[in-house]
């Protein structure tokens, strides 16, 4: 089951980064931002912390903005569950059943239900629909997987009656969300489905490009070469990622007026007013970061800030709350782990929603780094370390002989 880590492990330790015996935990609520942004708010801390045991990814806002659903992987990847948490870090609840290897949660349009996938030791994949609190869970589709949990690309129909998914054979199907057993094949060899908000069309990626059809799969037409289609709120336009995997376009649903709006973006999502997109730059030579793309002015603004080489993180899976103010995204620091973060649409007040620690190589003493946010850096390893905390209000737990930089506001020595 360790191979399931491929589902979220898109940015672990960078080769050449010397980081030894470090544990990075909670962003202290009184952290002070730099990078020319306003001082962050003082968010209430999340309830869950763990040392090297947890990674959170794939966050999704509930339609009313009251909760964020996400996938949590524990340990080496043998345990994966679907959770929800309030944007203040409280009211965390496991939605999927204990013992189920669950992942990939998506909210129903009315926010009353959640769909997710499970995967078992016999490599059977089940598409599950449950109430928003995890109760009344029932299976709406089952198919045989392979050795690793597949990405199912779950997508709800606007009326909440159907859930689209992709099986291990690469077929795009829809299942009756009530559990009645009815299923329909939309297309062979298709993936990444997205329902139009008004419900009369479904977009997906086929072998010949981004295709739009009616909900039953009829009248297909290809409008562009690309991936990850996302409908505008008025169902008139589609944002998508270029074939090379970098470059966000907007095109009319009829295939007209195709234009590049973010040359360095991927995985676009619309803001509820349809005036802007939220996307991320893919990781590579630089860390992935969250962008807001204003369509009228063609302005692209980076709103996440943790992208330095030594202190940075790879950001992904960004989406904006229904009130258009707050962006949630997954962040994977170079020190390890993966956490959920929030940032205002204008780039202010970036902070952790979930936070975890990571114990990296405990070989010879070396240079220990914090992150851009406030950290607790634990380096009590009986080795001679040099500790640099970075920005934010930081606490360093150090050995007496460790060298601790002045940017560690509080130092506690053993």
Q: How far apart are CA 251 and CA 245, in angstroms?
A: 17
How far is 17 from 220, CA to CA, in rounded Å? 49
- Specify whether the CB–CB gap between 102 and 127 falls below 8 A: no
- What 3-state class would DSSP assign to 253? coil
Half-sphere exposure of residue 389: CA atoms within 13 angstroms, side-chain side: 30
pLDDT digits (tens, 9 = 90+) for 276-324: 999 999 876 678 899 999 999 989 999 998 766 566 788 999 999 988 8
- The pair of three-digit structure tokens given for residue 23, joined into one six-digit string: 């544990």
| 8 Å CB contact between 125 and 119 | yes
- How confident is the model over 333-362, as a mean pLDDT? 79
**Residue whose pair of structure tokens reads 């960004």 in the numeric block:** 318
Alpha carbon 345 to its chain centroid, in Å, reads: 16
Which residues fall within 8 angstroms of residue 240, CB to CB, at 6 or more apart? 210, 224, 226, 227, 228, 229, 230, 248, 249, 251, 268
DSSP notation for 256-300: ---EEEETT-EEEEE-TTSSEEEEEPPPSSS---EEEEETTTTEE
Backbone angles phi, psi at 129, to 5 degrees: -120, 130
Classify residue 218 as exposed, middle or buried by CB count within 10 Å of its CB (0-12, 13-18, 19+): exposed
Please give the domain boundaries of the chain with CATH numbers for all domains.
2-17+55-356 (2.120.10.30)
* pLDDT at 384 (0 to 100): 87
Integer Cα distance of 79 and 57 in angstroms = 14
Is 196 in contact with 215 (CB distance < 8 Å)?
no
Whether the full predicted model's pTM is greater than 0.75, yes or no, is yes
| 232-258: average pLDDT | 96
**DSSP character at residue 14:** P
Q: For residue range 100-134, list pLDDT tens digits in order.
A: 999 999 999 999 999 999 999 999 999 999 999 99
């Amino acid at each position: 089951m360790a191979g399931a880590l491929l589902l979220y492990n898109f940015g672990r330790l960078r080769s050449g980064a010397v980081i030894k015996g470090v544990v990075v935990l909670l962003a202290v609520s009184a952290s002070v931002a730099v990078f020319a942004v306003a001082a962050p708010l003082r968010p209430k801390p999340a309830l869950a912390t763990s040392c090297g045991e947890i990674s959170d990814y794939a966050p999704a806002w509930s339609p009313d903005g009251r909760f964020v659903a996400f996938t949590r992987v524990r340990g080496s990847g043998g345990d994966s569950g679907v959770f929800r948490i309030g944007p203040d870090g409280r009211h965390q609840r496991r939605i999927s059943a204990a013992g189920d290897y669950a992942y990939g949660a998506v909210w129903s349009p009315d926010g009353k239900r959640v769909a997710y996938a499970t995967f078992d030791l016999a490599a059977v994949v089940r598409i599950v629909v449950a109430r928003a609190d995890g109760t009344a869970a029932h299976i709406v589709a089952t198919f045989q997987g392979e050795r690793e949990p597949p990405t199912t690309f779950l997508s709800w129909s606007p009326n909440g009656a159907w859930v689209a998914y992709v099986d291990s054979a690469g077929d795009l199907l829809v299942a009756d969300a009530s559990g009645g057993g009815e299923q329909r094949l939309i297309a062979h060899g298709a993936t990444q489905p997205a329902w139009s908000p008004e419900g009369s069309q479904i977009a997906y990626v086929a072998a010949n490009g981004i295709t739009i059809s009616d909900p039953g799969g009829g009248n297909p037409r290809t409008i562009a070469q690309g991936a990850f289609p996302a409908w505008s709120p008025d169902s008139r336009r589609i944002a998508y990622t270029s074939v090379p995997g970098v470059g966000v376009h907007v095109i009319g649903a009829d295939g007209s007026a195709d234009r590049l709006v973010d040359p360095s973006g991927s995985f676009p999502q619309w803001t509820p007013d349809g005036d802007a997109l939220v996307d991320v730059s893919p990781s590579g030579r630089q860390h992935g970061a969250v962008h807001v793309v204003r369509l009228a002015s063609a302005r692209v603004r980076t709103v996440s800030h943790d992208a330095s080489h030594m202190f940075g993180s790879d950001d992904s899976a960004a989406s904006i709350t229904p009130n258009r103010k707050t962006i949630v995204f997954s962040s994977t620091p170079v020190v390890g782990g993966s956490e959920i973060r929030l940032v205002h649409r204008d780039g202010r007040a970036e902070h952790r929603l979930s936070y975890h620690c990571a114990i990296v190589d405990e070989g010879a003493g070396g240079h220990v780094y914090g992150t851009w946010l406030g950290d607790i850096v634990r380096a009590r390893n009986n080795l001679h370390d040099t500790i640099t905390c970075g920005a934010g209000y930081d606490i360093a737990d150090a050995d007496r002989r460790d060298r601790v930089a002045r940017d560690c506001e509080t130092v506690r020595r053993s």
